[in-house]
Amino acid sequence: EDQVTQSPEALRLQEGESSSLNCSYTVSGLRGLFWYRQDPGKGPEFLFTLYSAGEEKEKERLKATLTKKESFLHITAPKPEDSATYLCAGIRGGGSEKLVFGKGTKLTVNP
Amino acid sequence: DTGVSQNPRHKITKRGQNVTFRCDPISEHNRLYWYRQTLGQGPEFLTYFQNEAQLEKSRLLSDRFSAERPKGSFSTLEIQRTEQGDSAMYLCASSRGQSETQYFGPGTRLLVL
């Protein structure tokens, strides 16, 4: 069965303290790995799509990378407004279009 | 591009009642998805449409749940005889094509008393 596991479940950082979130996956024939940000009571907001091992994408203070077994979301010099839950999801090969999500990492950035 | 919209945003109902939610996808997106999210969990896939055809359904979608997309535009998700376990956030997403990014709406939060 396809599975996506995110760690840590929760992370507290001081403003400016860089760190990484991990997403390990066992998704058959992975066709895409997606990162979303979710604020409380809202729908997930798209951040990045990665399609192949070695691929990297950046947006402001965030950088996503992908290997054959896991993905990392690096946060450089975070600000309090980066506080949110970050969700990782994979889409398998074989024609299925469903995203398989992890439980997310809740990030809190203190000023 | 006005984004995915969902209505209502909140619904409180009594056990045993029927509820219906609506999702309007991003225009020109021919794929539409429904997910359910409970507290502390990631979204779980329910079903997806390509145009008006329902192509994939999860085992989570019991016979009390039905989804339609009659003209390939908006979609409705109906839950019959609601149970307390149906309380969750129901999320809709749309995408332009296969394996492309799914953009989510704000969700409908359902509370079954």
- The Cα of B90 is separated from the nearest Cα of chain A by a number of Å equal to 9
Nearest by CB to residue A43, choosing from B40, B56, B91, is B91
C-alpha A73/C-alpha A20 separation (Å) is: 5
Question: What is the pLDDT, as a whole number, of residue B61?
Answer: 85
CB atoms within 10 A of CB B2: 7
Q: Which of A98, A100, A101, A103 should one mutate to test binding to chain B, selecting the residue with the greatest count of B CBs within 10 A?
A: A98
Residue A95 reports pLDDT greater than 80:
no
Question: What is the pLDDT, as a whole number, of residue A29?
Answer: 86
- B1 versus B35: the higher-pLDDT residue is B35
Q: What is the pLDDT of residues A13-44, one digit of tens each?
A: 999 999 999 999 998 888 899 999 999 999 99
Kindly report the three-state secondary structure assignment for every residue of A22-61: EEEEECCCCCEEEEEEECCCCCCEEEEEECCCCCEEEECC
Nearest by CB to residue A97, choosing from B4, B48, B105, is B48
How sure is the predictor about A106, in pLDDT bands with cuts at 50, 70 and 90? very high
- Distance set, CA B3 to CA A25, A38, B90 (Å): 29, 16, 16
C-alpha A8/C-alpha A106 separation (Å) is: 8
Q: What is the pLDDT of residues A43-76, one digit of tens each?
A: 999 999 999 999 999 999 999 999 999 999 999 9
Contacts of B55 (CB under 8 A, 6+ apart): A97, B48, B49
Q: What is the pLDDT of residues B58-81, one digit of tens each?
A: 988 889 999 999 988 999 999 999
Q: What is the pLDDT of residues B72-106, one digit of tens each?
A: 899 999 999 999 999 999 999 999 987 789 999 99
3-state secondary structure of A90: strand
- A46 close to B (CB below 8 A): yes
Question: What is the pLDDT, as a whole number, of residue B19?
Answer: 98
Q: What is the pLDDT of residues B1-34, one digit of tens each?
A: 579 999 999 999 999 999 999 999 999 899 999 9
Phi/psi class of residue B45: alpha, beta or left (left: φ > 0; alpha: ψ in -120 to 50)? beta
Contact A101 B91 (CB under 8 A): no
Cα three-residue angle B40-B45-B47, rounded to 5 degrees: 150
